[in-house]
Amino acid sequence: MKILSWLAFTFAFILAGTVQVSAQILSPHALEVDYDYEALVEVPMDDTFSSSLDAASFQAQHMFGIFSSPTVIEGMGINSEDIHGIGGPKSQSEILILSEEVFEKNQQSMVRIHYKNSGQMILHKKAAEKVLSQGSFIVPLPTNPFKIYRKKCTDSHYDTFGDYWYFYDPYREGCERLSQEPYAQEVQVKVKKSKTRNIQRSAELPLLRSDNGNGDLFSIYMIHGFSEDKKDPEDDGRLNYEIAHEYLLEKGFSVERLKKSSPYPLNLYKKAVTLSNGKTIQIEIRSLLVDTEMGSTSKVFADFFKQAIATADAIIYEGHSGLGGNLNIPELERKAGKFNFPDKKQIYYFDSCSSYSYYLDHFNAYKTKTNIDVITNGLSSYFHTSPLVLKEFLNYLIGSDNRNFQWMTILNKMESVLGKETYLVNVGGL
């Protein structure tokens, strides 16, 4: 599963308080809705407390774990064996502190914060239809999120406090009290349909693969992040890099190893493709296996991603989301210098956990005139299925069929390999 620790969350909420409104999303299995609610959060006035805004944000992010509970999924009329979540909120939301009160509890200074939170979230269509018909739904947010950690109530692998908010299930057998007072409060989340906005419903591949600033060259940058251990020859990220390599060779691409002395393999794949309109284009794919961790001291990933942003027609990222930290532009710019978004059409595909929550609006705050379609996941995605979904996407990018395919056709095909499962793949325009 493409998850990292809670430490990156500070960066994911970098836009909290100033909502960046993006174009409406398109998705075969999901809808985007507006939400707002009011809640109380009580946290200790010790070294864990930084600000009331951070405390409110920390409580709010527990919706991720709640939305993945089988009890919640089944309650929305969805089979929890097929779907592992009903959706998730964007990390960029508008939090307004309404009041603060300091009090004593068990000889400890506490602060009680009353706040309002509003933003957007992606929901599985069945869940969206149900809550929209009701106008709201109830979420048991933890009153004091620092006091609800129970190892038995979270994932068996990602079982630390830092990951707890994403994986805990307050409805699991033996954990039910975490959904009840005094551990939790019932918060009424009001929802309504997001305002309909203009969005490009086709992928515009004929435009993307014409003279898009690169002449007859169609440039794709692919980034494969490690799953667990960059030194492990069987690491899932490394295996996926090799699977992509074999796929491109099967498709007739030549390959050249670039930067042979680097510990991070970078291959350049080339192929001339005659499109269905009779035009021949040159396709180049740069594929890098690299440490994408936010805390990495290496500049290789930052430099490569900066180059991709500046020149590529399509960018594909496969790896951990780092809870928004791995592709955090200000952090990457500290390593590689200022990013420059070109004035041309681009497609970004961020195949990482909950990438809708972290990246869709984040990039909107930094791009200028460029026209970007961003493909993201509303739920967690997995390394073992990534190659299957990626191949379906690449078939459209590198194939000879030059029709102007609709995004819904492409997204449906990408997830067709998952059977009944869905990651709530979607596309939004910037």
Q: Are 423 and 378 in contact (CB under 8 A)?
A: yes
**Can you count the helices (H) and strands (E) in the chain?**
13, 14
pLDDT category of residue 10 using cuts at 50, 70 and 90: very low
**What pLDDT, on a 0 to 100 scale, did the predictor assign at position 128?**
97
The total of other beta-carbon atoms located within 10 Å of residue 229's CB is 12
Phi-psi label, residue 17: left if phi above 0, alpha if psi -120 to 50, beta otherwise: left
Give pLDDT, residue 14: 36
Amino acid at 307: Q
Residue 4 is predicted with a pLDDT of 34
- The model's pLDDT over 224-261, given as tens digits with 9 standing for 90+, comes to 999 999 999 999 999 999 999 999 999 999 999 998 77
Q: Domain 205-429 class? A: alpha beta
Q: How many CB atoms lie within 10 A of CB 99?
A: 10
Query: For residue 421, what are the CA distances in angstroms to 382, 394, 425?
Result: 12, 20, 11
Residue 17 in this model has a pLDDT that exceeds 70: no
**pLDDT tens profile 86-141:** 999 998 899 999 999 999 998 899 999 999 999 999 999 999 999 999 999 999 99
Where in the chain are the domains? Answer: 27-193, 205-429
Distance CA 144, CA 92 (A): 22
- The answer to whether the Cα torsion of 298, 301, 305, 311 is positive or negative is positive
Mean pLDDT value of segment 371-389: 93
Chain centre distance of CA 19? 17
Our measurement of the distance from residue 351's CA atom to the centroid of its chain's CA atoms, rounded to an integer in Å, reads 7
Rounded to whole angstroms, how far apart are CA atoms 79 and 408?
23
- Residue with the two structure tokens 């929209």: 132
| 135 in Cβ contact with 190 (< 8 Å) | yes
What distance in Å separates the CA atoms of residue 91 and residue 354, rounded to the nearest whole number?
A: 10
Distance of CA 310 to the CA centre of its chain: 22
Across 215-277, where does the E strand assignment appear? 217-225, 254-258, 266-274
Question: Does the pLDDT at position 382 exceed 60?
Answer: yes
Q: What predicted TM-score, i.e. pTM, was given to this entire model?
A: 0.91
Main-chain phi, psi angles of 391, to 5 degrees: -60, -40
Return the pLDDT at 277.
93
Question: Can you tell me the distance from the alpha carbon of 294 to that of 319, in angstroms, rounded to the nearest whole number?
Answer: 12
- pLDDT tens-digit map of 303-325: 999 999 999 999 999 998 877 77
**Which element (helix H / strand E) includes 186?**
strand 184-193
For residue 199, what pLDDT is reported?
A: 76
CA geometry: angle at 62 spanning 193 and 6, to 5°? 120
Q: How far is CA 224 from CA 38, 67, 212, 316, in A?
A: 40, 28, 25, 8
Q: For residue range 156-192, list pLDDT tens digits in order.
A: 988 999 889 999 999 999 999 999 999 999 999 999 9
**pLDDT value at position 359?**
79
Asked if 89 and 19 touch (Cβ cutoff 8 Å), the reply is no
Question: Rounded to whole angstroms, what are the CA distances from 246 to 137, 253, 257, 263, 281?
Answer: 47, 10, 14, 20, 22
Tokens of 203: 């992928």
User: Can you tell me the distance from the alpha carbon of 238 to that of 367, in angstroms, rounded to the nearest whole number?
Assistant: 31
What pLDDT is attached to residue 304? 96
Tokens of 282: 């040159």
Lowest-pLDDT choice from 3-12, 98-107, 158-167, 280-289: 3-12
Cα dihedral across residues 262, 293, 12, 421: positive or negative:
positive
Q: What's the token pair of residue 214?
A: 């690169």
Q: How many residues does the chain have?
A: 430
Mean pLDDT, the chain, whole residue set? 90
